[in-house]
Amino acid sequence: MKLITWNIQFGLGVDGRLDLARIIAHARSMADFDVLCLQEVADNFPDLQQGGSSDQFAQIAALLPDYESIEGPGVDVPDGKGGRRRFGNMMLSRYPVGRIFRHALPWVTDGSRSMPRLLIDAVVQAPWGPLRVMTTHLEYYSPLQRIGQVETIRRAVQEGRGRAGLAPVQGPGGFAPTDEAASAILTADFNMIAGNPTFQRLLQPADDGAPGLIDAWSALHPNEAHPFSFCIYDQRYDQPHCCDFILLTPDLKPRLRRVFYDTQTQLSDHQPVLIELDD
């Protein structure tokens, strides 16, 4: 199984050119991926640099017709002209997709510049069985909001694991049981470094005592710092650092074979990250 996660900055490269097709082409050049997790996908935001007035969710889905697409906009507001403006996350899977959750993350107003955030949480049928794949984009400006968002993610992971351990209860319509999975992958632009106490909270044991998530890069490279994933070529916001990670439930560690940060591409202000798992 190959998965890529990437904050694509709505397709805007460091060169100032907006081109979704080259984003997808570059992801394909990295690997014949099975799952693609994207952050910062826009729909109907003409005020964004180079114009983001088109529906990028639809455009990306059209570029990957053999994949099932899952839209996860955290921002969903009227445009004043009878339409909607949306901005957020997207997941595309070549594997069959089971149940899908979209968790709204806390949006606590503390005076900071911010936007609503959302966590996509989908069960896909990986070669070895059902697997939860989760992707999100945490708040940049507000540490307070990130704290609440991380706690929501921790609860979502724990609740999914609990559902996976229960026998299905039959029922009609919406009560019909669906596949659940205890194994999970979480990808995100976390907007904080690995040493941040809020990030470390994701690696701590759950409230029910179950082990916390593990960081994929650190699992394979325990004595190496993460490669930079942000501000390598565009330092308007900060100095180069890593804030894009892939986390796993510990049961997936034996399947983990490769984690690769592409630090060369300049097609976004973030770098894509690839993970490979054995079947």
**Residue 12 forms beta bridges with which residues?**
18
How many other C-beta atoms can be found within 10 angstroms of the C-beta atom of residue 164?
A: 16
pTM over 0.75: yes
CATH code of residue 115: 3.60.10.10
At 163, give phi and psi (nearest 5°): -65, -35
Query: Judging by DSSP bridges, how do beta strands 273-277 and 2-7 pair with one another?
Result: antiparallel
Could you tell me if 100 and 120 are in contact, meaning their C-beta atoms sit under 8 angstroms apart? yes
pLDDT per residue, tens digit, the chain (279 aa), is 999 999 999 999 999 999 999 999 999 999 999 999 999 999 999 888 665 568 999 999 999 999 999 999 999 999 999 999 999 999 999 999 999 999 999 998 788 899 999 999 999 999 999 999 999 999 999 999 999 999 999 999 999 999 998 998 999 999 998 889 999 999 999 999 999 999 999 999 999 999 999 999 999 999 999 999 999 998 888 899 999 999 999 999 999 999 999 999 999 999 999 999 999
Compute the CA torsion angle 245, 248, 254, 258 (nearest 10 deg). -20
Domain that holds residue 144: 2-277
The encoded tokens of residue 253 equal 């560690």
Could you tell me if 136 and 119 are in contact, meaning their C-beta atoms sit under 8 angstroms apart? yes
The gap from C-alpha 142 to its chain's centroid, in whole angstroms, comes to 19
Number of domains in the chain: 1
Q: Which residues contact 21 (CB under 8 A, 6 or more apart)?
A: 63
